[in-house]
A and B are shown apart, each in its own frame.
Chain A
Amino acid sequence: MKYLYLICALLVVASCSSPKGEKGNSSEKEKVVNVYSQRHYESDNILLEKFTEQTGIKVNVVNAGADELINRLEMEGALSPADVFITVDAARLNRAKNKALFQKVDLSNSKNLKPQLLDTDGLWFPLTYRARVIVYDLKDVDPATITTYSDLAKPEWKDKVVIRSSGSGYNQSLLAYIIEAEGEGAAQDWVKGVVANMARDPKGGDRDQIKAIASGVGEVSVVNTYYLASLLNSSNPEEVAVGKSVGVIFPNQEKEGTHINVSGAAVTKSAPNKANAVKLLEFLTSEESQKFYAANSFEYPAHKEVPADSTVATFGEFKASGLAFARDMSLTEKAVVVFDEGGWK
């Protein structure tokens, strides 16, 4: 019976620790903005706290996967408490846009953002972007032998490619970009070629691929730049050593440019706190916040004048591709099918 007392005591403690999460409040006078965000980084929280300090507007956040949040927005419809939607994939931004979940707002900062990253209809705004680059073993690989993603499908790389699974959103958007730029046939050939060259079944995250190169399992891989940068800034010295064992190649410089994807934000159609939502977007696209993004998440800032972080800058300048692959989800969906048909696990 004494456990019953324990439970009662815990219940009392638990009720004292309430209120826990607050419900999204829609009254303007309380000065809040409600955010549905896929970005779950600690540095983003610090940035949002700065916004509250500057404006007195409280930021309420729910973090979850992009598609879960889009489904939730869709189901909630006009009743949704969300004011701002943030995700890390242009195709998902356009999926939500095509479902008419956003509203058009004027952002004075948008003229300062890199024009090739902007949404043609101005319904969402880029915050940062990421490049998907080829990394290679500094010991064994001559970087001059690789200039395009297609090179990885050449027979000379047999048993030397390590890359993550086709379930990865980053690989799906890369293949969507290849389908858009070179057509479905070329994409199918590329998938077949890379699958034939794989040193092992796809597994793990981007960092794990770099570690596999350091382990000698493979010699080349395709990863996002900020994962390499975060390895180079790791608290584990062994991980720093892993990061230093590879070099970076920006592929397709003679063609459309290296594949990039953006992280972006939009004001939702039913936003109960629209004015505050716009203030938040102005803040996130300001020069100050863009510098903060660059320094803390190792992504490339969307702002024209803000340079990349020093670690990322050592990878070099590059020509970035456009975002045509993400105009809607159809190319990403096609990419999933091409991966499956080509036997990319």
Chain B
Amino acid sequence: MVLTKTAGINFQNITALSNTVLGAYITNTLWISSGVISLSLLIGVGCAWAITMYDFPFRKQLEWMLILPLAIPTFINGIAYAGLTDYAGPIRIALRATPWLDDVYLDIMNGWGAIFVMSMVLYPYIYLTSRAAFANQSSQLLEASKILGATEFQSFYKVAVPIAWPAIFSGLSLVIMEVLNDYGTVKYFGIPTFTTGIFKSWLSLGDMPSAIFLAAILLLFVIFILSLEWWITRKKVISEASSSRALTREKIIGSKKIIVMVGVLSTFTLAFIVPLGQLLWWLNLSFTHTNWGNFIEIIGNTLTLSLYSSLIIICMGIAIAYAFRVLKNLKYIQPLSKLTSLGYAMPGAVIAIGIIASILLIDNELIYAGIYALLFGYTVRFFAVGYSPIVSGLKKNSLSIDDAALTLGASTFKTLIKVHLPLIKRSILVSLILIFVDISKELPITLILRPFNFNTLATNAYQFATDEMAPESSAASLLIIFVGIIPIYILNRSMRSKP
């Protein structure tokens, strides 16, 4: 639907861009995304392995606390870290009071800093999916590899990771799409990426068609990644741990214990405690002139939107995933189901304009009817987040289940309701919560499609943050994080309990 506006591309603008800066944008994008991919894979898979395989103090608490950074919007993490290290931030204040160190200049606002700041909030996607995969895999396999003389590291990368790879990749593809559509952090850190080019064409050159053309190129890249995922996972037979014994966690001691604990604890500290601490310090500075009265309504709005749209996406996700399952004989249309995920890689602001265009095509009055336009926008944008857990959940149900149900006289619909849904209810909960958390952080679509006098926590935080008033934005930022913590806690409990 966004593509309907592509007609009338101003190739002059695109040529001008590609002659000067487009190359640098692409290089930066590739550099930043590969950095984030590597770092979040390292942290996400590493933490998942440690939590699944080892027993150490605070393991149970850390198991769910490691997901918490997911609740921090990337841009907020960026300004929190920038604020932490700038002249008026606590680190530099302390350094200035220290002889010899009073002239140290810290700078996080560069490419490496952006990679760090983004990885810290995105690694939970990989952590979640790979932890579930590690926990599900058969303990016999790992024991067998040990008996055959493999070192622990060899069993990890020769047995565990290849088996878990489809799951890891599904988390990774969400990370890649998040990085590609990030605009706030890279803009603030002064790193022009491909998305910068999209916005430059649109906002500064007033050339919407060129912007959409560039967005389409970005989409091609994402289609490539999604096909790669499809290609990797297509032959995998999901081996359920079936009734095999649960993994017994190894009690670690000595230097191994120290290394594992330092790794996991420092991840949690850097990804959650540090930005939270900075926000709390800002809150302390701005507490007296924060308008607290509005927040009840704002929280209500945020919850309403997140809840309604996650339910819509879940229902649509189940319907589409099941339809593709039923149409299993039409092999060539299977990859098409991936196309529904494209919205996640699009910059939200571009989607928003596409939504207005398509709503106006359907019905001129609809756009003013409250929050419907917003719900529509969120559905396009976040469908991928909810869809992929449902698909992988459904995949685990053997096709013979369908045949059995049909033989017993159940209709296709009844099979879904009575057989599949109860079996995949955990996957449904996972997608519900991921969407919920994502929508409570969403900004660009909310900004442009919201009704009059309508604020969410994200728009409230943004209002101050873009005005370079970071302390004043801390109240809303903290509330976004707390709104996200509760579902994340539930998510973890449900993933740990036996189905």
A residues at B contact (CB < 8 Å): 3, 6-7, 10-11, 13-15, 17-24, 34, 40-42, 60-65, 67-69, 71-72, 75-76, 79, 81, 95, 164-165, 167, 169, 172, 200-208, 211-212, 214-217, 227, 230, 234-236, 238-239, 241-242, 329, 332-333, 336-337, 340-341, 345
Contacts and interface: CB of A to CB of B under 8 A. Distances in A.
B109 A22 contact: no
Contacts of A11: 307
Given A21-B371, A345-B192, A206 B353 contact: no
B110 A336 contact: no
A336 B208 CA distance: 16
Interface stretch (B243-251, B389-397, B465-473): B465-473
Contacts of B494: 3
Most chain B CB neighbours (cut-off 10 Å) among A3, A69, A234: A3
B468 A203 contact: no
B92 to A, nearest CB: 8
Nearest to B281: A236
Contacts of B301: 17, 20-21
Given A17-B301, A21-B301, A76-B367, A64 B448 contact: yes
B349 interface: yes
B87 A68 contact: no
B162 interface: no
A62 B468 contact: no
Nearest to A62: B452
5 contacts: A17-B303, A62-B451, A235-B285, A241-B88, A340-B20
Contacts of B110: 201, 203
Contact of A172 (B92, B204, B297): B204
A239 B401 CA distance: 65
B20 A202 contact: no
Given A3-B494, A202-B190, A214-B87, A20 B297 contact: yes
B277 interface: no
Contacts of A202: 190
Q: Which applies to chain B's interface (DSSP): helix, strand, loop or mixed?
A: helix
Interface of B: 16-17, 20-21, 82, 86-89, 92-93, 103, 105, 107, 109-110, 187-192, 196, 199-200, 202-206, 208, 285-286, 289, 291, 297, 300-301, 303-304, 307-308, 311, 349, 352-353, 356-357, 360, 364-365, 367-371, 429, 432, 447-448, 450-454, 459, 462-464, 466-469, 471-472, 490, 494
B355 to A, nearest CB: 10
Given A62-B452, A68-B353, 19 more contacts: A7-B311, A15-B304, A62-B454, A63-B459, A71-B208, A72-B353, A95-B206, A164-B190, A204-B82, A205-B188, A211-B86, A211-B87, A216-B105, A238-B87, A241-B88, A242-B87, A333-B206, A337-B16, A341-B20
B87 A215 contact: yes
A14 B436 CA distance: 14
Contacts of B462: 40
Contacts of B205: 333, 336
A24 B87 contact: no
A21 B452 contact: yes
A61 to B, nearest CB: 6
B275 to A, nearest CB: 17
B190 A204 contact: yes
Given A75-B356, A211-B87, A42 B291 contact: yes
